[in-house]
Amino acid sequence: MNKQQLVESIRTKKNFLCVGLDTDLSKIPSHLLKEEDPLFAFNKAIIDATRNYCVSYKPNLAFYEAQGLVGWNALIKTVNYIGDSHFIILDAKRGDIGNTAEQYAKTFFESMPGDSVTIAPYMGEDAITPFLKYENKTAIVLALTSNPGAADFQLIESNGTALYEVVLQKTASLGNTDNIMFVVGATRPEYFTKVRAIVPDHFLLVPGVGAQGGSLEEVYKFGANTEVGLIVNVSRQILYASNGQDFAEKAAVVAKDYAYQMNKLMEHA
């Protein structure tokens, strides 16, 4: 799924929800541990329950890589099961250069394949451009994250310009609105106006709504553009709404509620 298809999906479904598949083997319902592939069994049930209420899925690779080959296989099966009906974000946060970056891009855009991948821009242009060579694929660059430690580097200012603003300006110049998105955390809604002044037309992947306390209303108020331009990720609140036999049904209830809230925001924009 490319950007234009994502925009169409948002307009059709009237929401901009991404379900984060941060599937922790220690947190999934115990009855699933009897399955041949517990990670995939959990993901499959979550996907089946939430497909109609979201436009995107975001597997967090750390939770799969931690399980070795078994986890990697579960990730591949999950991506294949999602198919082309939803925008697939591979949350890898890779950040290397040259041949290494090219191999990462090949991994996530050919071997998997995903529609997009999160990358860290600290090493500069060399760490970003290899991901921009793929048609209809998107690099999602970490700009202003939702964690407290973001202030250690991202908010440092030089001559009145914060580092995250430099990242936005420089990265946006390397590609276009079709192949670059940015991560901007919901826990810092006061910065969305500044972000939009620099990248008015790029999509933003927004973590931090839900368990981290970010406000969906403020994110939409200050971050939405004419195409909505937002993918709001919710992980734990949906995945672990229940740890019993009804885990998928409870996940659907939470996802449906977020979709409803988003629909109302879009209607009144």
Q: Encode pLDDT of 112-157 as tens digits.
A: 889 999 999 999 999 999 999 999 999 999 999 989 899 999 999 9
Q: Rounded to whole angstroms, how far apart are CA atoms 205 and 198?
A: 16
Domain ranges of the chain: 3-267
H helices of 14-67, where? 38-50, 62-65
pLDDT at 210: 74
Name the band, by pLDDT with cuts 50, 70 and 90, for residue 50.
very high
Three-state SS at 72: helix
Mean pLDDT calculated for residue range 204-209: 94
Instruction: Please name which of 166, 244, 245, 152 lies closest in space to residue 199, comparing C-alpha atoms.
Output: 166
Q: Is the pLDDT of residue 171 over 90?
A: yes
| Cα 143 versus chain centre, distance | 13
Given a cut of 80, is residue 269 above it in pLDDT? no
- Max distance between CA atoms of the chain, in angstroms, equals 58
Architecture of the domain made up of 3-267:
Alpha-Beta Barrel (3.20)
**Over residues 164-181, mean pLDDT:** 98
Question: Which range (23-32, 145-154, 203-212, 248-257) has the least confidence?
Answer: 203-212
Looking at residue 244, what DSSP letter applies?
Answer: S
Mean of the per-residue pLDDT values for the chain? 96
Question: Which residues lie closer than 8 Å to 36 by C-beta, 6 or more apart?
Answer: none
pLDDT at 124: 96
Please check the confidence at residue 213 and state whether its pLDDT lies above 80: no
Residue 197 clears pLDDT 90, i.e. is over it: yes
Instruction: Let me know how many helices (H) and strands (E) the chain has, helices first.
Output: 10, 10
93 catalytic, yes or no? yes
Instruction: Return the pLDDT at 208.
Output: 87
Q: What is the pLDDT of residue 252?
A: 98
Query: Which residue would you say has higher pLDDT here, 62 or 269?
Result: 62
Indicate whether 211 pLDDT > 80.
Answer: no
More confident residue, 263 or 189: 263
pLDDT at 153: 96
66-104 pLDDT, tens digit each: 999 999 999 999 999 999 999 999 999 999 999 999 999
Q: Are the CB atoms for 78 and 21 separated by under 8 Å?
A: yes
Which of the four pLDDT bands, split at 50, 70 and 90, describes residue 54? Answer: very high
Q: What is the pLDDT of residue 95?
A: 96
- From 14, 77, 93, 106, active-site residue: 93
Long-range contacts of 249-258 (CB under 8 A, 24+ apart): 249/49, 251/46, 251/49, 251/50, 252/49, 252/50, 252/53, 255/17, 255/19, 255/49, 255/50, 255/53, 255/54, 256/53, 258/15, 258/17, 258/53, 258/216, 258/232, 258/234
The answer for 88, left when phi > 0, alpha when psi is -120 to 50, beta otherwise, is beta
